[in-house]
Structure 1
Amino acid sequence: MHRGKGMKFVGDSRVVAPEYRKKQNIPKDYSEYPGKTEAFWPNFLLKEWMVGAVFLMGYLCLTVAHPAPLERMADPTDAGYIPLPDWYFLFLYQLLKYQFAAGDYTVIGAVVMPGLAFGALMLAPWLDTGKERRPMKRPIATGIMLLAVIATIFLTWESVDQHDWEAAAQQGAIVEHEIDEDANGYAIYSTQSCIGCHGNQLEGGSAGYALVETGLTAEEIKDIIVNGRGAMPGGTFTGTEEELETLAKYIENDGFDPEE
């Protein structure tokens, strides 16, 4: 009997065969279906990454070339200010201008219509389960997508065409008001922590009103400082009566001492 004759190696299922390890990361062969399908990894995913990188670089270049415009600080007392959303929300902004999407029907224009539109886009894969990839062979999905794109472009164009851009530029323009920062009134203004709410140029902010061109007299300003009004609490001024008088006249004179 020869040595080793009749002996067979029994493989261990816990040990991965070298041949299997080599073939493990090889994508399936889709050569039988040319142009119809391909391996998700790495073929399809690599294309997605490349397209995404191109769009990202283009977006970054636009951001650097055209930075976001800045407007003046928000004034909660300005009831005539007309806000305008960013360009990608202009179609929804325009939708709310129509009769049955505004006023008493705001809920329909703000919730119901966009909900139905986006819901239809989300349900498109389940409404059209065909395996065809050509748009003409997928009428439901193609129709929903074309309707969404046309509606979005039309509403965006209408919003841009109807908006008064000249008035919008004027209402949002940053107007720098010159004040006398060497005046005694400004020294009192800064030491009494008025800057935190009303700004270092008396321009106001989200927490306080603008203190220029108020139309108030010094006596009215003193009363507001002492007793408060609206969101401004009273009893915050800790200076003397003379300092209160100087500050009130400084604000009345739009950032200048009366004697100047």
Structure 2
Amino acid sequence: MKRGKGMKFVGDSRISAEKTSYYPKDYSEYPGRTEAFWPNFLLKEWLAGSVFLVGFLTLTLAHPSPLEGMADPTNASYIPLPDWYFLFLYELLKYEFASGDFILIGILGIPGLAFGALLLAPFLDNGPGRKPRQRPIAVSMMLLALASVVWLTYESASAVDWESRAEANKPIPESDVTIDVDHPGYAVYEASCMSCHGGELEGSAAAPSLIGIEYSAEEIADIAVNGLGAMPAGLFTGSDEELQQLAEFIVSVNESAE
């Protein structure tokens, strides 16, 4: 027997003589189960992200998001809407069990239970398997939450006339018309119409622009008294003379814009 064969030398009996490796095995030791992070895995992630980004940009170009008008605290007819990713919560508050006397259930109770359940899902279903059929509780809760959000968002979005809102809330271009403040109809316009149609007849979120219309003075006078479209009747309460002055003023402004 050779000297030292089978003998192990340690400096401290508390230290194990068997050396333990703290480094994970190379990915090549698990054929078919893993792959190299660079470039294989990272390249797949970049490709997936690029496809999603191109699709998202294409969607935004094909269907631009309708922009809302400038905030106007004097416009009581404007109905604000949350951004699209909050529409499902907005729709939830329309139901009787989540509105009115039960508003706290709608704004705190149901959302709190839903998001709390998603937070608890990993703890309720903590099995070692990663396949969906091996995580029935977590997968079921996630599918239920996803279906609820998609359905409520669809219901809310389908009830809104997005094209009309986008058309009504387009940015108002700067007016290049000449406003004759000495015209007798200007004072009537200022008292009766300016709050909705703007100081230069440019319109607002509450009322359309009066620039570029093709109505005669008689037609304008009739609309001022009887209304048209979203404009109700009876808004103008002045005399017949003032009504005629108002109509002639609006016609003169449009003539100056031609």
Correspondence for 1:174? 168
Correspondence for 1:185? 181
8 Å CA contact 1:202–1:255 kept in 2: the answer is no
Percent identical among aligned pairs is: 46
Whole-angstrom CA distance in 2 between matches of 1:171 and 1:155: 20
Whole-angstrom CA distance in 2 between matches of 1:133 and 1:101: 36
Q: For residue 136 of structure 2, what is the amino acid of its counterpart? A: P
- Residues 68-87 of structure 1 aligned to structure 2 (within 5 Å): 68-70=65-67, 73-87=70-84
Partner deviation per Cα, 1:173-216 (whole Å, 9 max, x = no partner)? 43989x99234329999xxxx9xxx565453589xx99987747
Correspondence for 1:203? 203
Q: 1:139 is matched with which residue: 136, 158, 163?
A: 136
Give the aligned length: 189
Per-residue deviation at 1:38? Answer: 5.3
8 Å CA contact 2:168–2:205 kept in 1: the answer is no
Q: 1:152 to 1:210 in 2, by over 3 A?
A: closer
Considering only aligned residues, what root-mean-square deviation do their CA atoms show, in Å?
4.6
Correspondence for 1:124? 121
Q: 1:171 to 1:130 in 2, by over 3 A?
A: closer
8 Å CA contact 2:66–2:166 kept in 1: the answer is no
Q: 1:100 is matched with which residue: 97, 104, 109?
A: 97
Per-residue deviation at 1:134? Answer: 1.1
Q: TM-score, normalised by structure 2?
A: 0.53
8 Å CA contact 1:90–1:155 kept in 2: the answer is yes
8 Å CA contact 1:95–1:155 kept in 2: the answer is yes
1:48 aligns with 2:45: yes
1:151 aligns with 2:153: no
SS at match of 1:129: coil
Q: 2:27 is matched with which residue: 16, 29, 32?
A: 29
More deviation, 101-110/135-144? 101-110
Q: For residue 203 of structure 1, what is the amino acid of its counterpart? A: G
SS at match of 1:68: coil
Q: TM-score, normalised by structure 1?
A: 0.53
SS at match of 1:184: coil
Q: 2:87 is matched with which residue: 86, 90, 95?
A: 90
Unmatched runs of 5 consecutive residues or more in structure 2: 1-23, 188-193, 211-223, 225-234, 240-244
8 Å CA contact 2:98–2:104 kept in 1: the answer is yes
